[in-house]
């Protein structure tokens, strides 16, 4: 690497680290394996410009992912400005600051689609338009990102075809750009995480039915109803883990007039006095959960932190997680025991039939008379006529 190139990389890296881009303390970019000699940065001043960035748009086939800085966090405008994975956007912006022009390719618009740098608003577009804007609505960086170049060699930098929207010149760029066109893939999926050993009790109400579970030593036990069929211990453990690693499948803004049918309520109380209330709603054909936290003086700060995340939102959590948070008695029952004589393999002879002694059929089963030939098998006295 030439000294001038090394010095340029050092200056850009320092500017990126100093900028922070509203993400808190910025992480230093990872060193690249190699840099093509003479490769100029696509956006030489982007590291400094990101200090004023407040919006990022990703356009693909006339659909836009809208990322915006709001209340100190980057959020997804497509779903009411729910928080996104902050590190994911940081990686994309870092990739833009480090992207380099390697060599010019075609300038013929007829070849754009083949490289994925045609109009991103087209119905069959193969690439993405990435646009970064500042708080005044001015564009800081704008680029059409096409197909990645497939490289057979190992230990070489990634490369991708790129084009500025206002130009016809296509370039081969060197760098790693992580772009997702699906808004849901940007969402910060973890909602809450309360370990099972912190759960002191659980109360679930479904209409007139109520389930109460209380901690007894290291596990939860059924307190009510007292008259019940045998329970599956593993299913009770699943309820205790109901608030562990709760990740959303989808999210949307909550509202007082959201309506719908209430299916169930659940209250999880922790050993330190936190009450986590969950309500399961049926809206149309879908089920959504509303979450809220409360607690005494000792747990108030924890409750406030949780409410800062969940207040004003409805979550889809996945059917398996819903069964853990809002179980019915049928979900907790021990599975029925297999009847004596059941053959799990599904093999064996039909009912009422048996094989001859020594052939492994269970005692008590017999074959109808005549079903098994008796004596030696007869053989024709003469061979069949030759064909």
The phi and psi torsions of 195 (rounded to 5 degrees) equal -60, 150
- Could you tell me which residues come within 8 angstroms of residue 212 by beta carbon, excluding any fewer than 6 positions away? 201, 202, 203, 222, 223, 224
Q: How confident is the model at residue 373, as a pLDDT?
A: 46
- What DSSP string runs through 354-374? -PPTTS-PPTT--PPTTSS--
What separation in angstroms does the CA of 87 have from each of 26, 80, 84? 10, 20, 9
Give residue for tokens 């990703």: 58
Mean pLDDT by 10 residues, the chain (387 residues): 43 43 38 49 95 97 97 96 97 97 96 96 94 96 94 78 97 95 97 97 96 96 93 96 97 92 97 97 97 94 96 96 96 81 54 51 50 45 48
Return the pLDDT at 335: 85
Give the pair of three-digit tokens for residue 56.
Answer: 């990022």
Tens of pLDDT, residue by residue over 198-255, are 999 999 999 999 999 999 999 999 999 999 889 999 999 999 999 999 999 999 999 9
Model-wide pTM > 0.85: no
d(CA 302, CA 190): 16
Residue 380, token pair as written in the block:
């024709």
Q: Tens digits of per-residue pLDDT, 279-314?
A: 999 999 999 999 999 999 889 999 999 999 999 999
Burial class (CB in 10 A: 0-12, 13-18, 19+), 194: buried
In whole angstroms, what separates CA 190 from the centre of its chain? Answer: 9
Q: Tell me how far apart the alpha carbons of residues 225 and 328 are, in angstroms, rounded to a whole number.
A: 12
- The whole-number pLDDT of residue 301 equals 95
Predicted pLDDT at 66: 98
* Nearest-angstrom CA–CA distance, 215 and 228: 18
Q: What is the pLDDT of residue 239?
A: 98
Could you tell me how far CA 60 lies from the centroid of its own chain?
21
How much of the chain is in helix, strand and coil states, percent to nearest 5?
A: 20, 30, 45
What CA–CA distances, in Å, run from 163 to 158, 172, 236, 381, 383? Answer: 17, 9, 57, 89, 84
CB 104 within 8 A of CB 95: no
Report pLDDT for 14: 43
Would you say 57 and 139 are in contact if contact means Cβ atoms under 8 Å apart? Answer: no
Q: Is the peptide bond before 299 cis (omega within 30 degrees of 0)?
A: no
Pair of tokens at residue 121: 């608003």
Confidence (pLDDT) at 154: 67
CA distance 20 to 50: 8
SS3 10: helix
């Amino acid at each position: 690497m030439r000294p001038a190139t090394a010095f340029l990389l050092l200056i850009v890296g320092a500017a990126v680290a100093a900028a922070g881009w509203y993400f808190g303390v910025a992480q230093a970019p990872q060193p690249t394996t190699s840099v093509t000699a003479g490769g100029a940065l696509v956006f030489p001043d982007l590291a400094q410009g990101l200090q004023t960035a407040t919006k990022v748009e990703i356009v693909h086939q006339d659909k836009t992912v809208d990322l915006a800085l709001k209340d100190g966090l980057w959020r997804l405008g497509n779903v009411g400005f729910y928080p996104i994975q902050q590190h994911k956007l940081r990686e994309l912006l870092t990739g833009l600051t480090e992207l380099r022009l390697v060599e010019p390719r075609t300038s013929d618009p007829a070849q754009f689609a083949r490289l994925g740098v045609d109009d991103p608003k087209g119905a069959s577009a193969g690439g993405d338009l990435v646009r970064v804007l500042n708080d005044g609505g001015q564009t800081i960086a704008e680029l059409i990102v096409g197909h990645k170049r497939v490289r057979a060699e190992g230990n070489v930098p990634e490369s991708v075809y790129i084009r500025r929207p206002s130009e016809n010149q296509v370039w081969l760029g060197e760098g790693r750009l992580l772009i997702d066109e699906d808004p849901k893939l940007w969402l910060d999926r973890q909602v809450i995480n309360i370990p099972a050993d912190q759960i002191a009790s659980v109360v679930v109400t479904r209409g007139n039915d109520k389930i109460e579970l209380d901690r007894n030593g290291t596990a939860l036990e059924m307190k009510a109803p007292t008259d019940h069929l045998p329970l599956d211990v593993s299913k009770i453990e699943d309820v205790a883990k109901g608030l562990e690693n709760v990740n959303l499948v989808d999210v949307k803004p909550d509202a007082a007039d959201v309506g719908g049918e209430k299916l169930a309520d659940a209250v999880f109380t922790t050993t330190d006095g936190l009450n986590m209330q969950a309500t399961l709603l049926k809206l149309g054909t879908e089920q959504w959960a509303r979450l809220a936290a409360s607690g005494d003086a000792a747990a108030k700060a924890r409750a406030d932190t949780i409410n800062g995340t969940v207040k004003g939102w409805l979550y889809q959590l996945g059917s398996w997680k819903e069964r853990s948070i809002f179980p019915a008695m049928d979900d907790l029952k021990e599975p029925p025991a297999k009847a004596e004589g059941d053959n799990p393999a599904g093999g064996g002879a039909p009912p009422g039939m048996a094989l001859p002694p020594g052939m492994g059929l269970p005692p008590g089963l017999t074959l109808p008379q005549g079903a098994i030939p008796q004596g030696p098998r007869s053989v024709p006295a003469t061979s069949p006529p030759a064909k």
